[in-house]
Amino acid sequence: MNFTLCSSSPELRYPYVDALRSTDIHAIASKPSLRIDNAVKKDIVQLSNQDAGKMVMSSNLMPRHLKEPFVGKEQPDEQSQKLKFVRTLLIDNYDSYTYNIYQELSVINGLPPVVVRNDEWTWGDFYHYLYEENAFDSVVISPGPGSPTCPADIGICLRLLQECWDIPILGVCLGHQALGYVHGAKVVHAYEPIHGRLSEIEHDGCELFHDIPSGKDSGFKVVRYHSLVIDAETLPKELIPIAWTVSTGALSFHHTQKSDVPADASADSFSTNLKNGSSWPLSCSNGVQRRKVLMGIMHSTRPHYGLQFHPESVASCHGRQIFRNFREITEDYWKRLKPSIIKQRRFHYAARMQVPHANGLFTEIPGHRKVVNGADDQLYKEASSSGQLMLDKRCFGAFDMVNVSNPIIGVKYLKLKWRKFDHLAGQVGGARNIFCELFGHHKAENTFWLDSSSTEKGRARFSFMGGRGGSLWKQVTFRLSDESDMASKGGGYLSVEDSQGSATKTFLEDGFLDFLKKELLLFHYEEKDYEGLPFEFYGGYIGYIGYNLKVECGMVSNRHKSRTPDACFFFADNLLVIDHYNDDVYIMSLHEEFTTTSTPWLDITEEKLLSLQASIKKDREERAIQALRSFPDKGGFVADRSRDDYIKDIEKCLEYIKDGESYELCLTTQIRKRIGEIDSLGLYLHLREKNPAPYAAWLNFSGENLSICCSSPERFLRLDRNGILEAKPIKGTIARGTTQEEDERRKRQLQYSEKDQAENLMIVDLLRNDLGRVSDPGSVHVPNFMDVESYATVHTMVSTIRGKKRADVNAIDCVRAAFPGGSMTGAPKLRSMELLDSLESSSRGIYSGSIGFFSYNHTFDLNIVIRTIVIHEGEASIGAGGAIVALSNPEDEYDEMILKTSAPAKAVMEFT
């Protein structure tokens, strides 16, 4: 079906004038008072061409080598006047997919865009950089929660679309709706919310869809995340429809991968007329006419485009080609201008990847903005000497690295010594026996065990264990203040107990993550100390980060205060490591250089290890039965929320999703039981036997009367010594079958569940976004997508996302970019957490947080705290929940939540 109004005539689309960007522009907006600093700091970073050549980019799921340089001086060819790279301003509507667009634009444009949130700049700022400094060639408006009719949701974007008629603009999802709304179209509820599902797209062949197939079975399938749509009947004459769904139905990802599964059967269509004279397809289904959904629009006289779907999604086809086409549109637009206008845009500025500001990666200083610019020292000198633009660091905001190049106070020069015992673990009874005999005495007080109790199929390989250590050992405990919001930067109280038992308490104005960041930056070490070791933890901080530390990662506040500390870590200077693949045992000891050359702990531990016999393994289960209790309690667990209340909360979530406030909400609750005094290590050993997991953990902070028995199957985030980040979110869970036939049937049921695929896809895109904030442009990819993994009690759907860490960020920056794990929040993350805080009746505490390590050499590995028993002051609590999406059934969601509590709750009931 052809749309005759979509003309390729440049006169129709780009009415340019000779005096474009001259004083005539003041007819659009009066010159604002600008808030631009005169001083430009020199500590700005730019990717070198040498580094750029090492970048890789993602092509749908997997990366390939990047051919285009990321940065360089803009030098248009005098003959063609084409741009060597395109400078894009990316407006973030507080979405969790913005940095997927960022990554795509970085690859396509040859230069990372600058990202600013929709309320971060005044119109004066935009006017200055767009018109006075000519800093950008195009603008992209991101998706986001809410509606363009709500000023708080859309921010400055409506004014940009209204007044920047002479700049190429692409709006995605919310940006698409804003383009329609600003010109008079109505934004209404869709026939049904579509989130994380795919549709086949037909288009009219205009430039934005150049070289992209069209229509049913063409291979052009895209991912949709929206509850609202532009009412096509209300399109004004200046807006032209350029794309629409082939049929009213949406598809799951695996549905689109199976050629023998038909697409939507209701593909017959006919036409009616819109008020602007264009034709609009309708479809018939069961005798009822349903309007197909508008998926793309363009302005008839401005270089403005909108897409309702998400081209940046990992499962969208031809998404990169769409961004490439938008670059071509931008180049062609500026090519049509007179050479004098182009030359005005030639200055030595390369817009560098930004770092989230007010509520993003690095906590904002109140009243102060932050973003990273990009230019090396030479570029800075050239630009400043010629009076050319360098974007204000106050407005764009650079994250302030702690300068520890020559620190004076608190520096620790660390030395590592270690010994290896080949094939020893099995000879002395395995990990369980080693831990119990070396660290399990005296109620295993102040001990840790990152326990890969499920190592089959390569899920995990190493276990790390230890207890109170040597001179460097300490315990740090952090509690957020009652006024833990962004205004106070999430400050709180830090208690530190050292190896001598001395305790101090201080207030951390900047919060715990900043403290941990500065601590790690104070360690000096030599890489040769750990050469040859196959694992990534050589000593350092080991413990947990509670869910409430989300206030240090972008959230404004916590509604509920945690009963347990918000973070608790040991600094482990002595530890034992088991390699489950090779059955090897390592013992390791850290000390400060020049302080000692003796290794008493290594000597003592080696003697204990070699004296162990497998036959002396104690039956902890039998021992646990005799454990003392303050009182016998045969009662069951009590839930924080009743079944009816939880289902009502699910229904509220569905309303939020229908209204476009969220795509997915991970609603949770907790069950609790008084257990009195108990052998908590014995309980953990029972849990690991009944429900082994690759990211299991035992932590005992005896001074806090706190033990954590974790059997988590989910990795949150890892950073290895090669700078590779990896996340492995789980979304989609089903109980194992009682027979092999039933088990296989349930596994297939999960694999092809449209709801579970939608859940998983949304979180994969969210994690791609989070890693994209701190990864090299083009390096984020998905090597494993929607794999089904089987555990003792459940099947789960797991995906793997990886990226290469940028050189200008550190380990804590990476955690801050992604915490809390998206599988426990939903998307968009910030808005979803706000909604969940309003629904949930108590703090999640440790549940939904992360357990793991931060090695002194800046590697880390953290899990997601699920399937976990938290024992605190005589009470056992277990958190559980599930992702609520548009396809959710409240009764089924409640049953899934109960399923997730069953293994740890059963372990407690059997043990007590």
List, by residue number, the catalytic residues. Answer: 173, 310, 312
Three-state SS string over 184-216 comes to CCCEEEEEEEEEEEEEEEEECCCHHHCCCCCCC
Q: Is-contact 251 309, C-beta < 8 A?
A: no
Residue whose tokens read 């986001």:
144
DSSP one-letter code for 530? G
User: H or E element: which one contains 804?
Assistant: strand 794-804
Distance CA 311, CA 198 (A): 11
Distance CA 69, CA 107 (A): 8
Q: Does residue 21 come out as left (phi exceeding 0), alpha (psi in the -120 to 50 range) or beta?
A: left
Three-state SS string over 125-171 comes to HHHHHHHHCCCCCEEEECCCCCCCCCHHHHCCHHHHHHHCCCCCEEE
Residues 6+ apart with CB under 8 A from 512: 478, 492, 494, 545, 549, 552, 566, 567
CA angle 805, 811, 813 (to 5 degrees): 85
Distance CA 463, CA 573 (A): 16
* Amino acid symbol at 751: Q
Distance CA 184, CA 903 (A): 55
DSSP one-letter code for 894? H
Q: Looking at the DSSP assignment, which residues form a beta bridge with residue 796?
A: 733, 789
Q: Is-contact 621 670, C-beta < 8 A?
A: no
Q: Helix 600-611 to helix 430-439 angle, to the nearest 10 degrees?
A: 130
Q: How many CA atoms lie within 13 A of 500 on its CB side?
A: 2
Q: Is-contact 586 869, C-beta < 8 A?
A: no
Q: Does residue 177 come out as left (phi exceeding 0), alpha (psi in the -120 to 50 range) or beta?
A: alpha
Cα 618 vs. chain centroid, distance in angstroms?
Answer: 43
Here the tokens at position 169 are 């603009």
Tell me the CA distances in angstroms from 37 to 40, 174, 397, 729, one per residue in order. Answer: 7, 33, 12, 43
Distance CA 686, CA 677 (A): 17
Instruction: Determine if the peptide bond prior to 828 is cis (ω within 30°).
Output: yes
Residue 703 has a CB neighbour count (10 Å cut-off) of 14
Distance CA 3, CA 59 (A): 31
Cα 538 vs. chain centroid, distance in angstroms?
Answer: 27
Q: Is-contact 785 762, C-beta < 8 A?
A: no
Kindly calculate the radius of gyration of the chain based on its CA atoms and give it in whole angstroms: 29
Question: What are the residue ranges of helices labelled H in 308-439?
Answer: 319-335, 339-344, 377-385, 393-396, 430-439
Q: How many CA atoms lie within 13 A of 289 on its CB side?
A: 8
Q: Is-contact 442 702, C-beta < 8 A?
A: no
Q: Is-contact 671 869, C-beta < 8 A?
A: no
